[in-house]
Amino acid sequence: MSLRSGIGDFFNPRISGNAPPPSEKTKEPEPEREESGTWRETGYSATDEEAHRDSVYSIKSVLHQTLEVFMVQMKLFSKMKWTYILLFTALLIPIIALLAPDFIDILSTFGYSTGYSTTKIAGLLFFLPLMLGLMTSIMCGTQMPSEFKERTAYMNIPMPMSRASFFFGKYLAGFVMCLGIFMFAYSMAIATALKDYDTIFPDLITSSILLTLVGVMAYSATAYCIGCFTKKGSSIFPFALMSFIIPLIVVIICSQTDNYTLTLLPMFLGEAALGILGASMTGSAGMVILGNMDLTATWLMLLIGIAWTAGFLLLGYIRIKRREM
Amino acid sequence: MSGFRTAAIAFLMLAIVLVPAVTDESDADSGTARMSDSYILSTDYKWISGTIIRSDCFYYKASNTEAINAFEKCLNDREGTLPADDSGNLRAGEMVRIYYATKNIAVNVPITVKSDSEITDKSQFAGGIIMPYPAGFFVKAGDSFTIRITEAKDNYGEDVVCYVMENGIPYDLSKTYSGSMKTTGEFTFETDPPSGADGRFYIDLKYESTGFSEPSGSAALYAAVCAVVTIAIFCILAYSGMKPKWSK
């Protein structure tokens, strides 16, 4: 098999792609056409190719199934009003910056240095950590419960489709959707900063985007997993948990022990994404310890975030896999 | 979509994201520069004259003389006749900053109190100090830096002492100072206090440093990269919405 056909089969398997073609040697001798079919009286006659007698039907590959579920979920997102409300929220960045420049200047009173492009971008993304929790909760928190609530899961899962595809396809759509909104916010913030600056620190922006990407992964996995364990699902509980409850507990522990290792947890990825740009504070519960965070270990934060995502996805998958339909 | 097309798009997206990152040349190297070659004149000073409040004396200019002239013009505009923000006309050069600017000013604010029988002059002097931006250098998280101020003179040619407070103890920056940052931020230092009315207006600094960073990447390129990723995702969203096969 050539590389091209191998890759092609992986992404776009043919109907008979999973089964080997029938061997010439093992082929049974064909019976007489008139005797084998039931069409003798009608006079109909077709070749094997015309009658698809040599076609072997099999279910689509797991990747194909996952992409199908992904597209179905994306279609649902395209009908959700929240998708457009959240996009509008990101669109507010340049609108506020252009129509109310004093609002941005107020940020300098919170210690933002307005002399650098990256700090200005961080100022424009002031509420990113808070929105990270809110948006992922809205997009991913109720995905799975609504499938069971609206009974659509009972139609989907009995189909020739693995539960893994069903589970991960839906998560992937939620993650991609949230990522799109945050990338939109970044592009708006950088474009707005272009008004005053032409140059930026590419490594800092890349680190910030990577931290946000892993943050979206971890937050959406948490919200998605929590949704798998609840009947009705909630957009508020995962948000409160990731943006307020755990950060505040960590803040108390850190301040009592004077050890800030716990700030490596994914709840502080949003703060780290702004802190690496030079932000002195953020619009979130974790802002009080931003100055104490060790942003030299962003790679460790990324690893912990990825592990957190994998853990919560595994937990949610086990729950869905064991669920009796 | 064929596998090859998917792989090509994935590769293209990866290239779009990674190419700007590997072209980073922003880390500063050691060298000597005269910081007062360019200035930003920016203050939060509010000019109060009767009912006129001026808080718009913000001027950016690469040329030192023009900037100071413009700034002086703003300060002397006691009637507030200058346009609210003239900085658009003056921002001809790149955005720069003044590293120290202090000036005590005192103006006579005319206040007239009228009564039935007499008119009393209650004019008062109002004073204020123009607060400057402190000198600052951008340091990335994890970077170590060193700095030594080789020369610091105000606009009258007087030597100025520059120092940084370390655990409450001033460290003279005429000797090499080294440090590192756990978070990205600005390293700032202080100078001795303002010398009084019509005193020091700016300080020329010559310094040797390592570890400070200057931005060099293209902001437009990054905005485009983020926009491309966003557009790609929303194309998928639109495509999923159009395809009747996926109707639920």
**ipTM for this model:** 0.77
- Which alpha helices (DSSP H) does chain A contain, by range? 3-11, 33-36, 48-51, 62-79, 81-99, 101-106, 117-124, 128-140, 143-149, 153-156, 163-193, 202-228, 237-240, 246-257, 269-275, 298-322
Whether residue B224 sits in one domain with residue B204: no
The reply to whether residue B227 touches residue A202, judged by beta carbons under 8 angstroms, is no
Q: Is A193 exposed, middle or buried (0-12, 13-18, 19+ CB in 10 A)?
A: buried
* Separation in Å, CA of A200 to nearest CA in chain B: 5
Shortest Cα distance, chain B CAs vs residue A6, angstroms:
9
Which residue is it, tokens 């990256």? Answer: A118
Q: How confident is the model at residue B114 (pLDDT cuts 50, 70, 90)?
A: low
Domain range for B51 is 25-216
A72 and B240 within 8 Å at the Cβ level: the answer is yes
By the 8 A CB rule, do B16 and B225 touch?
yes
Interface test with A, best of B14, B38, B222, B228 (most A CBs within 10 A): B222
Nearest Cα neighbor of B191 from B132, B117, B114 is B132
Which residues lie across from B105 on neighbouring strands? B128
Number of domains in chain B: 2
pLDDT score recorded for residue B176: 92
Longest dimension (CA), chain B: 96
Report residue B232's pLDDT band, with 50, 70 and 90 as the boundaries. Answer: very high
Helix axes A163-193 and A62-79, enclosed angle (nearest 10): 50
A278:B229 CB<8 A: no
The closest CB to that of A117, out of B23, B186, B219, belongs to B219
Highest mean pLDDT among A220-234, B108-122, B157-171: A220-234
Same domain, B91 and B57: yes
Task: Kindly list the residues from chain B whose CB atom is less than 8 angstroms away from the CB atom of residue A117.
Answer: 215, 219
Q: Name the DSSP letter for residue A201.
A: -
Q: How confident is the model at residue A117 (pLDDT cuts 50, 70, 90)?
A: confident
- 3-state SS assignment for residue A109: helix
Q: Are residues B165 and B234 in the same domain?
A: no
The number of C-beta contacts closer than 8 angstroms across A and B is 167
| Spatial distance between the Cα atoms of A51 and A23, rounded to a whole number of angstroms | 19
> Which of A100-104, A154-158, B207-211 is least confident?
A100-104
Q: Are A317 and B164 in contact (CB under 8 A)?
A: no
Please tell me which of the candidates B23, B97, B243 has its beta carbon nearest to residue A202: B23
Tokens matching residue A34: 């008139």
Do B36 and B135 fall into the same domain? yes
Confidence of residue B155 (pLDDT cuts 50, 70, 90): low
Please tell me the predicted confidence (pLDDT) of residue A245.
93
Other CB atoms within a 10 A radius of the CB of residue B178 amount to 11
In chain B, residues with a C-beta closer than 8 Å to the C-beta of A193 are 219
Out of B7, B227, B241, the one facing A75 most closely (by C-beta) is B241
Q: Is the pLDDT of residue B115 over 70?
A: no
Interacting residues of A283 by C-beta distance below 8 A, sequence separation 6+:
A126, A127, A129, A130
Are B68 and B163 part of one and the same domain? Answer: yes
pLDDT of residue A134: 92
B155 and B191 housed in the same domain: yes
Chain B, nearest residue to A65 by Cα? B246
Residues B205, B167, single domain; the answer is yes
Average pLDDT for residues A307-319, to the nearest whole number? 95
CB contact under 8 A, B1 and A183: no
DSSP strand pairing (B217-218 vs B162-166): unpaired
Same domain membership, residue B165 and residue B49? yes
Cβ–Cβ < 8 Å for B219, B163: no
Structure-token pair, residue A109: 């009173």
The domain locations on chain A are 62-278+285-322
- Which has the minimum average pLDDT: A126-135, A271-280, B35-44? B35-44
Q: Please give the pLDDT value at position B28.
A: 39
Q: Identify the residue among B240, B242, B245, B247 best suited for mutation to test binding to A, counting A beta carbons within 10 A and taking the highest.
A: B240
B22 vs A191, higher pLDDT: A191
Alpha-carbon Rg for chain B in angstroms: 27
Tens-digit pLDDT profile for residues A10-61: 444 444 444 455 555 555 555 555 455 555 666 677 777 777 777 787 888 8
- Is the same domain home to B151 and B236? no
- Give the DSSP per-residue string, A254-268: HHHHT--GGGGSGGG
Could you tell me which residues are beta bridge partners of residue B197? B104
**For the residues of B67-104, what is the DSSP string, one character each?**
HHHHHHHHHT-TT--S-S--HHHHTTS-----S----E
Helix (H, G, I), strand (E, B) or coil at B188: strand
The pair of structure tokens assigned to A137 is 């909760």
Interface test mutation site (partner B, options A65, A121, A152, A203, max chain B beta carbons within 10 A): A203
For A73, the closest chain B residue by CA position comes to: B240
